[in-house]
Amino acid sequence: MLNELADLKVKSVEFSGGGEPTTHPDIIEIIRHAKSLGLNIGIVTNGNSLEKLFPVLDAFTFIRISLDAATKDKYQFVHGVNTFESVINNISVMINLS
């Protein structure tokens, strides 16, 4: 589908919705292919598996992290999991890598 979008002169794609994009087993290959087609790439992620994206950080025009909370307690209430500190750490590592 990415080839067809590029043929139609689509300029950007965003990976989001319907689940966490980083859980797709081929997400890195898909991102690399989109980049090879000259597409601008965005992704919306919960940030829990952000490290999977580290090898292709330079491919992204933007990365949006759906944190949805400013504190650990609010995060756990909203998301139902206690991964706030892990997500914050992933964001910090990503910033230092880019």
Cα of first residue to Cα of last residue in the chain, in angstroms, is 29
Mean pLDDT estimate for the chain: 95
Least Cα distance to 45 among 67, 78, 75 occurs for: 67
Q: What is the average per-residue pLDDT within 31-48?
A: 97
Predicted model pTM = 0.88
User: Is the pLDDT score of 89 beyond 90?
Assistant: yes
Of the pLDDT bands very low, low, confident and very high (cuts 50, 70, 90), residue 98 is confident
Write the CA distances from 93 to 11, 43, 47, 90, integer angstroms: 29, 17, 11, 5
Give dist(CA 60, CA 78) in Å, integer: 27
68: domain range? Answer: 1-97
Q: What is the average per-residue pLDDT within 44-71?
A: 94
- Provide the domain count of the chain: 1
pLDDT for 29 equals 98
Q: What is the average per-residue pLDDT within 64-92?
A: 94
Q: Which residues pair with 60 in a beta bridge?
A: 41
User: Is the pLDDT score of 49 beyond 90?
Assistant: yes
